[in-house]
Structure 1
Amino acid sequence: MLTHARGSSDGSGQEDSQSESNSIGSSSDDDDEEPPRFQSYNLLLQSFQSQQKEDRPAKKRRRLNDERDEDIKEITHSTAQDAVEEDGPEEDGSASDESVAEAGADESVADEEDFEAAASEDEEDISDPFDYHFGETDEKTMKQRINAAEEGDWDMRRVGFPGLANCIISQPRQDEGNNEMKRTVKSPKEILGLKRRLISPIQGLMPEFDSLQQALAPNIFEYRDILFGARKVANAEGLRNLACLHALNHVMKRRDRVLKNNARLSKDQGDVDSDIRDQGFTRPKILFLLETRQSCARYIDTITALSEPEQQENKKRFLDSFSSSEQRFGEDKPEDFRELFEGNDDNAFRLGIKFTRKTLKFFSKFYASDMIFASPLGLRRAIGAMNEEEEAKKRDYDFLSSIEVVILDQTDAMLMQNWEHVEYIFEHLNQQPKDSHDTDFSRVRHWYLDGNAKFLRQTIVFSAFLTPSLNALSSRHMRNIAGKIKFQPRYSGAIAAIDFPFEIKQSFSRFFPASHTADPDARFTYFTSTIVPLLLRFPKPSNGSGLGALIFVPSYFDFVRLRNYFSTSTETTNISFGAISEYTPPSDVRRARAHFMSGRHSALLYTERAHHFRRYRLKGVKRVIMYSLPENPTFYHEIVGGFLGDSALDGKVREGEASVRVVFSRFDAMKLERVVGSKRVQAMVSEKTEGDTFDFV
Structure 2
Amino acid sequence: MAAEDANSATTKLLTLLNVSALKSRKRDRGIDGPHTQTKGNKRKRSVAFTEDSPVETTSTTSQEDAKPSSGIVNADDRTVVVNDTGYGDPEDATLLYERHFGANPEALTEKSRMRVDQDGWKTTREKVGALTVIASLPPESTPLAKMLANRTAILERLRKPFLDRQAKQPQETIRVQNELLSILSAHFDLYHPAIPLDQHRCIREAIALHALDHVTKKRRRILKNNERVSHAKNAPEPPEDIQDQGFTRPSVLVLLPFRSFAVHWVNALTSHTPRPSFQIENHARFLSEYGLPADAVDKLAAAEKGTYPDDHVEMFKGNVDDNFRIGVKLTRKSVKLFAEFYGCDIIFASPLGLRVSIEKEKSADFLSSIEILVMDQMNAMVMQNWDHIEYVLSHMNRFPSESHDADFSRIKPWYLDGHSAYLRQSILLSPFETPEIRALYRRKLTNTAGKIRVEKVWPALHVPGSLEPLFASFDCLSPQDEAGKRFDYFTTQLLPKLLKSAVQSSNAIVYIPSSFDFIRVHNYFRKQTGLDFATLSEYSSNQDISRARQGFFNGKKSFLLISERFHFYRRYKIRGIRNIVFYALPEHPQFFSEFLSCPFLDDGVEPTDVSCHVMYCKYDWFRLERIIGTAGAKSLMQGYS
**TM class, shorter-chain normalised?**
0.7 to 0.9
> Using the alignment, how far apart are the partners of 1:353 and 1:529 within structure 2?
56
> Using the alignment, how far apart are the partners of 2:316 and 2:375 within structure 1?
17
For residues 466-523 of structure 1, give each alpha carbon's deviation from its aligned partner in whole angstroms, at most 9, with x where no partner exists.
11111111122211111110012111122xx2231xx422110000023211111111
Q: Cα offset for 1:205? A: 2.3
> Using the alignment, how far apart are the partners of 1:336 and 1:155 within structure 2?
36
TM-score, length of structure 1 as denominator length: 0.76
**Matching of residues 247-326 of structure 1 within 5 Å:** 247-269=211-233, 271-272=237-238, 274-308=240-274, 310-324=278-292, 326=297
Q: Cα offset for 1:139? A: 8.2
Which of 308, 312, 333 is 1:358 aligned to? 333
TM-score, length of structure 2 as denominator length: 0.83
> Using the alignment, how far apart are the partners of 1:342 and 1:239 within structure 2?
19
Q: What's the secondary structure of 2:441's corresponding residue? A: helix
Structure 2 counterpart of 1:585, one-letter code: S
Which of 157, 160, 176 is 1:212 aligned to? 176
Structure 2 counterpart of 1:365, one-letter code: E
Query: Partner residue of 2:497?
Result: 534
Structure 1 counterpart of 2:207, one-letter code: A
CA contact (8 A) 1:622 1:658 kept: yes
> Using the alignment, how far apart are the partners of 2:522 and 2:108 within structure 1?
58
Q: Cα offset for 1:291? A: 1.0
CA contact (8 A) 1:229 1:464 kept: yes
Which of 366, 373, 388 is 1:406 aligned to? 373
1:451 aligns with 2:422: no
CA contact (8 A) 2:92 2:151 kept: no
Which of 67, 76, 79 is 2:31 aligned to? 76
**Matching of residues 574-593 of structure 1 within 5 Å:** 575-593=531-549
Q: Cα offset for 1:153? A: 1.2
Query: Partner residue of 1:484?
Result: 451
> Using the alignment, how far apart are the partners of 1:294 and 1:682 within structure 2?
38
For residues 225-249 of structure 1, give each alpha carbon's deviation from its aligned partner in whole angstroms, at most 9, with x where no partner exists.
0110112320001111111100100
For residues 46-95 of structure 1, give each alpha carbon's deviation from its aligned partner in whole angstroms, at most 9, with x where no partner exists.
xxxxxxxxxxxxxxxxxxxxxxxxx78xx139xxxx5279xxxxxxxxxx
> Using the alignment, how far apart are the partners of 1:418 and 1:635 within structure 2?
20
Query: Partner residue of 1:498?
Result: 463
CA contact (8 A) 2:135 2:144 kept: no
Query: Partner residue of 1:102?
Result: none
Which of 666, 678, 689 is 2:630 aligned to? 678
Q: What's the secondary structure of 2:299's corresponding residue? A: coil
Which of 554, 559, 569 is 2:513 aligned to? 554
**Matching of residues 596-607 of structure 1 within 5 Å:** 596-607=552-563
CA contact (8 A) 2:197 2:431 kept: no
Q: For structure 2, list consecutive stretches of 5 or more residues without a partner in the other structure.
A: 1-21, 47-88
Q: What's the secondary structure of 2:432's corresponding residue? A: coil
For residues 353-375 of structure 1, give each alpha carbon's deviation from its aligned partner in whole angstroms, at most 9, with x where no partner exists.
11123222111110000110000
Which of 11, 29, 43 is 2:26 aligned to? 43
Structure 2 counterpart of 1:252, one-letter code: T
Q: Cα–Cα, structure 1 residues 221 and 512, in superposed 2: closer, same or farther, change >3 Å? A: same
> Using the alignment, how far apart are the partners of 2:224 and 2:550 within structure 1?
69
Query: Partner residue of 1:619?
Result: 575
Higher radius of gyration, 1 or 2: 1
Q: CA RMSD in A?
A: 2.7
Structure 2 counterpart of 1:363, one-letter code: F
1:372 aligns with 2:338: no
> Using the alignment, how far apart are the partners of 2:507 and 2:131 within structure 1?
40
Structure 1 counterpart of 2:364, one-letter code: Y
Greater shift in the superposed pair: 675-684 or 627-636: 675-684
> Using the alignment, how far apart are the partners of 2:343 and 2:94 within structure 1?
31
1:668 aligns with 2:620: yes
For residues 542-574 of structure 1, give each alpha carbon's deviation from its aligned partner in whole angstroms, at most 9, with x where no partner exists.
xxxx9321110111221122122222124xx1x
Query: Partner residue of 2:298?
Result: 327
> Using the alignment, how far apart are the partners of 1:251 and 1:519 within structure 2?
44
> Using the alignment, how far apart are the partners of 1:256 and 1:401 within structure 2?
21
CA contact (8 A) 1:128 1:192 kept: no
Which of 556, 570, 584 is 1:628 aligned to? 584
> Using the alignment, how far apart are the partners of 2:166 and 2:243 within structure 1?
35
1:243 aligns with 2:204: no
Q: Cα offset for 1:119? A: 8.2
For residues 29-48 of structure 1, give each alpha carbon's deviation from its aligned partner in whole angstroms, at most 9, with x where no partner exists.
xxxxxxxxxx967436xxxx
> Using the alignment, how far apart are the partners of 1:451 and 1:124 within structure 2?
29
Q: What's the secondary structure of 1:512's corresponding residue? A: coil
Q: Cα offset for 1:144? A: 2.6
Query: Partner residue of 2:599?
Result: 644
> Using the alignment, how far apart are the partners of 1:531 and 1:43 within structure 2?
74
Q: Cα–Cα, structure 1 residues 280 and 582, in superposed 2: closer, same or farther, change >3 Å? A: same
> Using the alignment, how far apart are the partners of 1:117 and 1:162 within structure 2?
34
CA contact (8 A) 1:284 1:367 kept: yes
CA contact (8 A) 1:552 1:608 kept: yes
Q: Cα offset for 1:530? A: 1.6
Q: For structure 1, list consecutive stretches of 5 or more residues without a partner in the other structure.
A: 1-38, 45-70, 86-110, 184-189, 386-393, 690-697
Aligned length in residues? 563
CA contact (8 A) 1:244 1:303 kept: yes
Which of 513, 522, 526 is 1:563 aligned to? 522
> Using the alignment, how far apart are the partners of 2:114 and 2:144 within structure 1?
15
Q: What's the secondary structure of 2:535's corresponding residue? A: strand
> Using the alignment, how far apart are the partners of 1:339 and 1:364 within structure 2?
28
Q: What's the secondary structure of 1:357's corresponding residue? A: coil
What percentage of residue pairs aligned between the two structures are identical? 35
Structure 1 counterpart of 2:267, one-letter code: D
Which of 185, 201, 206 is 2:161 aligned to? 201
Q: What's the secondary structure of 2:499's corresponding residue? A: helix
Q: Cα offset for 1:118? A: 5.1
Q: Cα–Cα, structure 1 residues 451 and 634, in superposed 2: closer, same or farther, change >3 Å? A: same
> Using the alignment, how far apart are the partners of 1:225 and 1:118 within structure 2?
29
Query: Partner residue of 1:3?
Result: none
Q: Cα offset for 1:127? A: 7.9
For residues 624-671 of structure 1, give each alpha carbon's deviation from its aligned partner in whole angstroms, at most 9, with x where no partner exists.
11000111111111111x213434xx21x3342211100001111111
> Using the alignment, how far apart are the partners of 1:287 and 1:140 within structure 2?
22
1:475 aligns with 2:442: yes
> Using the alignment, how far apart are the partners of 2:436 and 2:619 within structure 1?
13
